């Protein structure tokens, strides 16, 4: 299922760190060394190798650029994560990894624009941490979602143990053995290590058709997906409270048997970045590759 909105490529991308570092130049049309499994490789070579697996890559307009570091630097280790938090960066440095592959923005906005943050101490400290330690940081969002299968969706199905239930033609639609909403929620919380979720629905409702929508595709896209799939329950990442939850509430008040479970953005996509590690390792056997969870910033009372 292809979503527009937040995931749609913007017509104009300006003033973004690393925009000029997208692999569109012949300089980075490299093959990985073949003389030794442990031969040194550069950030650019790893990026180029990954892009060769993505249909129609490299894209002319994308947020997936280097936010720090250089494509020419030699890779000492790779870390995959959802958010490059200060703590994640420090852990990568401690592990001897100088290449971080991150799914979401690093500088608090979708395009990673930084001019407005130039004098901000939080931004300055974070960017200096990256630069001082020669960390190459690459956002891997548009490309990973464009991989076939979608890398995030694939990883989330694996994390939930639901791969065998996914529709062959639409990995967002699953048909599970009939169970209660309460049992599904308990399963998801346990598998994804979530303490709390938000729910619109009846915990006793019998569910079989599950619509899994990770991330934040936007309310309109979520509602259109519901219209098409007619699921018993929707598991999603992030919502605007005045959009999808209100649609589901109205549907329920009109007699429809449908529920909504909001997992949280990070929890709904982290499995995809963890799966990236197992996908990359066979292709880069000489490099240490690990996943560092960025975790949830919220506490609940």
Q: Which parts are annotated binding residues for a divalent metal cation?
A: 103, 265, 269
User: How far, CA to CA in Å, does 220 sit from each of 14, 78, 104, 239, 258?
Assistant: 27, 36, 21, 10, 17
Exposed / middle / buried, residue 259 (Cβ in 10 Å: 0-12, 13-18, 19+): buried
Q: H or E segment at 215?
A: none
Binding-site residues sit at 103, 265, 269
* String of DSSP letters for 164-206: GGB-SS-TTEEEEEEEEHHHHHHHHHHHHT-S--EEES-TT-E
CB 81 within 8 A of CB 102: yes
Sign of CA dihedral 213, 59, 61, 41: positive
Neighbouring-strand partners of residue 137: 68, 100
- Residue from 250, 283, 206 nearest 46 by CA: 283
DSSP state of 74: B
Q: H or E segment at 219?
A: helix 219-229
DSSP state of 286: T
């Amino acid at each position: 299922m292809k979503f527009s909105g937040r995931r749609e490529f913007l017509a104009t991308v300006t003033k973004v760190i690393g925009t000029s570092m997208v692999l569109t130049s012949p300089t980075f049309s490299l093959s990985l060394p073949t003389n030794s499994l442990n031969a040194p490789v550069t950030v650019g070579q790893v990026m180029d190798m990954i892009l060769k697996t993505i249909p129609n890559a490299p894209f002319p307009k994308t947020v997936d650029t280097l936010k720090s570091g250089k494509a020419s630097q030699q890779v000492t280790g790779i870390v995959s994560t959802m958010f490059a938090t200060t703590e994640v960066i420090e852990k990568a440095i401690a592990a001897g990894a100088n290449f971080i592959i991150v799914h979401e923005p690093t500088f608090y906005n979708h395009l990673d624009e930084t001019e407005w943050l130039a004098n901000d101490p939080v931004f300055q400290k974070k960017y200096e941490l990256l630069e001082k330690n020669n960390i190459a940081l690459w956002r891997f969002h548009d490309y990973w979602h464009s991989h076939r299968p979608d890398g995030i969706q694939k990883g989330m199905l694996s994390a939930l143990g639901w791969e065998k239930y996914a529709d062959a033609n639409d990995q967002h639609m699953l048909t599970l053995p009939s169970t209660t909403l309460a049992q599904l929620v308990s399963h998801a919380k346990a598998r994804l290590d979530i303490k709390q979720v938000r729910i619109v629905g009846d915990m006793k409702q019998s569910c079989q058709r599950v619509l899994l929508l990770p991330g934040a595709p936007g309310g309109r896209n979520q509602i259109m997906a519901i219209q098409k799939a007619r699921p018993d329950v929707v598991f999603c990442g992030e919502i605007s409270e005045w959009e999808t939850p209100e649609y589901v509430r109205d549907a329920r008040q009109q007699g429809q048997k449908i529920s909504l479970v909001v997992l949280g953005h990070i929890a709904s996509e982290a499995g995809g970045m963890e799966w990236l590690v197992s996908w990359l390792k066979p292709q880069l056997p000489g490099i240490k590759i690990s996943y560092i969870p960025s975790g949830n910033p919220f506490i609940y009372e």
